[in-house]
Amino acid sequence: MGSSDTENIYSLEGCRTQVGGHTPFIHLDDEHLLKPCSLREIQFYERMPIALKPIVPIVCAVFKNKTPQLTALRCLNCSKTADKFHEIIKKIPPSVINSPILKEKQLSQHFLVVDDLTKGMSSMRIIDLKLGKRFYAIDASEEKIKRKIRKIQNTTSLICGIRLSGVLYRETKRDWKIGKNEGRAMKMEQLETTLQLFFNVPLEVREILSSKIEEMIRIIRKLNGLRLFGASLLVTIDVEQLVCRVKLIDFANAAFTNQPEFCGPDIEAILGLNYILQILNNTHA
């Protein structure tokens, strides 16, 4: 496949539906995103137990030091056109590769090709919610630990295990966004109001969302030593089509560990998910 063929398949445009996170995502096509990431996040996906896979996005390929590798769970389209991945890195806009945030975090060598959770949606609302009360890795430096702890002081994370990282509405009568800084500054009353507005959708959709989150909780409860530090809950809804998707994302600081202090399930992540269930059950369209 030549470079012109790759250009026809992949637009490599900036992601217009990204609501959270530090690093800029890239739209590859109508179904995939290219996410700059750390080697640690790739390794998390590679070591992930089968039980966790249904509640995280499908990863079709990984790039380690810009070298592509297809995954076992890749979609059919990626399986048919595997050779195109060798050209993708060459087509990434310099504005992304050379962006200050990627250079600062040393994230310009490793990438994930992930399922776009807004695919097929035309009228959409998207929310990114940080889970738990801890956002640094097990082996984080003392400096980073202190910085992260300072950031979550006086946030809703410490109360309910949830903090708004971002929300986006792309609907007929509404097109607006709330960013992570506004989310971090929210008090509990503001967070609750924001969530009730977001989940003010038809009962059928709320019931599906509740079922999916309940399943997440059941899965996490069974995974001893899983710690979703810094992970998010991403929810996408198309009210017109009555379609919704719910996945856990962002595993740069997450871990599977047998250290005694992390024995048992991740109760802080479960705290956050239970809070979302409470909101869903108390919201009425």
Distance of alpha carbon 152 from alpha carbon 158, whole angstroms: 7
Closest CA to 216 of 242, 247, 253, 254: 247
Residue 260 has which token pair?
């005694």
Q: Which amino acid is at 45?
A: Y
Return the C-alpha torsion angle 275, 280, 281, 285, nearest 10: 150
Task: Report the half-sphere exposure of 200 (CA within 13 A, side-chain side).
Answer: 9
* Chain region(s) in the chain for CATH 3.30.470.160: 124-281
Burial class (CB within 10 angstroms; exposed 0-12, middle 13-18, buried 19+) of 189: exposed
Strands (E), the chain: 13-14, 26-27, 32-36, 59-64, 67-70, 111-115, 124-131, 162-171, 174-178, 226-227, 232-238, 243-249, 255-256
Query: What's the confidence (pLDDT) of residue 28?
Result: 81
Distance of alpha carbon 12 from alpha carbon 67, whole angstroms: 17
Residue 219 has which token pair?
């899965």
- Please give the CATH number for the structural domain made up of 124-281: 3.30.470.160
Query: What's the confidence (pLDDT) of residue 50?
Result: 92
Distance of alpha carbon 121 from alpha carbon 17, whole angstroms: 11
- The stretches in the chain having pLDDT less than 70 are 1-14, 21-22, 80-83, 89-90, 93-108, 285
Task: Report the half-sphere exposure of 33 (CA within 13 A, side-chain side).
Answer: 21
